Structure 1
Amino acid sequence: MAASLLLCLLLLSLLSFASPLSSDTILDAAEILSDSGFISMALTLELVSQTLTIQSPSLTIFAPTDAAFSHSGQPSLSLLQFHFCPLPLPLESLKSLSTGTKIPTLLPGQSLILTSSSLDDRISLNNVKITTGSPIYDDGALIIFGIEKFLDPNFGVPAPVGSPHSTPRCRLSPINGTMGFPGVSWFEAASESLRSNGYSIMASFLDLQLEGFKDQIMMTIFAPVDQSMANPIKNVSIFLRHVVPCKLLWNDLVNFDDGTVLPTYSNGFTITITRSDNVLMLNGVPVFFANMYFSDSLVVHGLHEVLAAEDRAQKVEESSPGIGSQGEESLLENDEF
């Protein structure tokens, strides 16, 4: 294993003096990916090529299937980096590595782990198998393999003792007439993530509205991108309608049935889950950036649009004087949560 790691370091040092992959190479690879049925990864490769491929003159890419994209949503840039290795790794090279060998990625400080053995019929990384018997694309500098699903950057990392799981049962908990949010310090990383991904207006709302709230609960924020909130927004209800009082990762959302209603911190405003051509929609708005940020108590998903009030939500708001009213309780007590 030490020899494998040394070889990787030597290759990286040599490759640092070479030219980056050309745009023609990326376009050719994307076209072949699309023709091979990896349409989502082909489109993604074209979108991120200027960001990721300039970091390395050679790459091995592990491409998840379209079904994986449909199930998990569009990956974050950091997750994509975890699927890019800055070394050309032909199939025979992968087969020659011993179980447990670490393979570098473009995600700083993160490596893939070879989990298959010489006796296995297919190579696996982080317990995810390569689906194709040969590379989808291989020109010597860029090699692409198909894999069953997205690779987990937390593979092999023991979960913290007492770490909370997702809590898809949503309830609002008014305290002294005021809705309780987690403490401000819990959200510094979330605000930074929002700002770095083009959601600075929602990040500012997050910072401002949390002042004075001390109760620690779980919550999910559906953040509209800045372009959809171009004008300064002073109405706090715009922020509150995008906050759900429970932690919902992408896997939780996709497992909800059509018609499932999520309560929010905006009095009477609810979010209805539906699907259009297998795309999950929230009040008619698709999730663009799933799991942008998540921690033990908070999940942030990115949207391209502001969530608009549906007729049902507007009627509930008009007939409900406050949290705890009959209309609100009928939503919160639904056993789907």
Structure 2
Amino acid sequence: MAASLSLSVLLLSFVSLGVALPREAIFDAADVLSDSGFVSMSLTLEIVAETLLEQSPSATVFAPSDSAFKKSGQPSLDLLRFHFAPFPLPPPSLRLLTAGATIPTMLPGQSLTVTTSDRLISINNVRLTGSPIYDDGFLLVYGIERFFDPAFQLNRQRPGPDSNSSCSGRNHTASSSDSFDQAVQTLKSGGYSAVASFLGMQLSGVAEHGGITVFAPADEMVMNRLGDIGEYPAFFRRHVVPCRLLWNDLVDFGEGSELATFLEGFAINITRSGGVLTLNGVPVFFPDVFFNDRVVVHGVSDVLAPQENAVVHVDDEHNLFDPSEF
């Protein structure tokens, strides 16, 4: 099973993570909502804009109808956060998501779930308007007929018992599988050619038992941060975890939890900043870009660098990756 995205639009919003959405865009979106018959959400957007949107460089808002507000009353701030995703989701990207893919929200630790992924898209079993009511490339607003239920759950296959933080970076040997090739092809088509090429050459035999999780920075970020070719093996090793961890597994980890990687001595520290899950301080900007029975890929907004005072040891004798491949 796989979930893939065309991420070019998403990447633009994360080049400058500290830049907030302009107030003009928020007020423009509120005006369009009002003109489109979403008066209650229009007024609510203006009220919560400073709290929710002005701290984010981009967002997707799912706007319940006036009848939903009339039936449910004024929602709590937490319920409103559950209707905001901290990045833009244009229709082509939404249509590429398979049922079961998750979308993080501005409510810490809570995600939405795609329940259909054809022309008529639904999330948490609530249908979206076919086209955004408002779309300026950074802020998108979709209409929905009722509020999302934070308790909604979709039954799907979860990772096996080996998918946990106790996994260590041991060298596995297994034959290449079609499912692994799918991951490589998805990465190549989604703006991750550098990571895809590396995985295709170096990791086609390691996704066995508990599988692997790849935290993939986009090509632009990789090229900006890579130096000498001799650094490539260690660079990529620290972005791969020898466990299969879906988004729902990641958000279950407590603050300060650490994940071992294939780079000996390099760990990924899980924290949260403004409700956004971060890995060594780098936000996960789109989870579950790809997942199947062996491989999970999450998009991250930058490369994962060693944390301060961390000591990284590379055992050349048992190095999983061969520098001569590059």
Equivalent position to 2:245, from 243, 248, 256: 248
The residue correspondences of 1:1-337 to structure 2 (distance < 5 A) are 28-29=31-32, 32=42, 34-35=45-46, 37=48, 43-45=58-60, 66-68=80-82, 80-81=94-95, 107-108=117-118, 112=122, 127=125, 144-145=143-144, 147-148=147-148, 164-165=159-160, 167-172=163-168, 174=170, 178-180=171-173, 183-211=176-204, 213=206, 215-230=208-223, 233=229, 235-314=232-311, 317=313
TM-score (norm 2): 0.55
Specify every segment of 5 or more residues in structure 2 that has no aligned partner in the other structure, as ranges.
1-27, 35-41, 66-77, 98-114, 135-140, 320-326
Deviation at 1:73? Answer: 6.6
Give the root-mean-square deviation of aligned CA atoms. 4.7
| Higher normalized contact order (CA 8 Å, seq sep 6+, divided by chain length) | 2
What is the identity, as a one-letter code, of the residue corresponding to 1:34? L
Asked if the contact 1:179/1:265 (under 8 Å) is kept, the reply is no
Q: What is the number of equivalent residue pairs in this alignment? A: 235
Distance 1:68 1:219, change over 3 A: farther
Q: Deviation at 1:229? A: 1.2
Please state how far the C-alpha of 1:202 moved relative to its aligned partner. Answer: 0.8
Q: Are the counterparts in 1 of residues 234 and 314 from structure 2 also a CA contact under 8 Å?
A: no
Q: Distance in 2 between matches of 1:26 and 1:313?
A: 45
Does the Cα contact within 8 Å between 2:214 and 2:298 map onto a contact in 1?
yes
Q: Distance in 2 between matches of 1:214 and 1:252?
A: 18
Structure 1: tracts of 5 or more residues without a match: 1-24, 47-59, 84-103, 113-124, 131-136, 324-337
> Matched residues in 2 for 1:190 and 1:242: separation?
15
Shift of 1:65: 5.8
Q: Name the CA distance, whole Å, in 2 between partners of 1:288 and 1:264.
A: 20
- Which residue type is aligned with residue 248 of structure 2? N
Structure 1 partner of 2:39: none
Q: Normalized per residue, which structure has more helix?
A: 1
SS of 2:306's equivalent in the other structure is: coil
CA distance in 1, matches of 2:314, 2:309: 10
Q: 1:165 & 1:69 partners in 2: Cα distance?
A: 30
Percentage identity across paired residues of the two chains: 31
**Largest Rg, 1 or 2:** 1
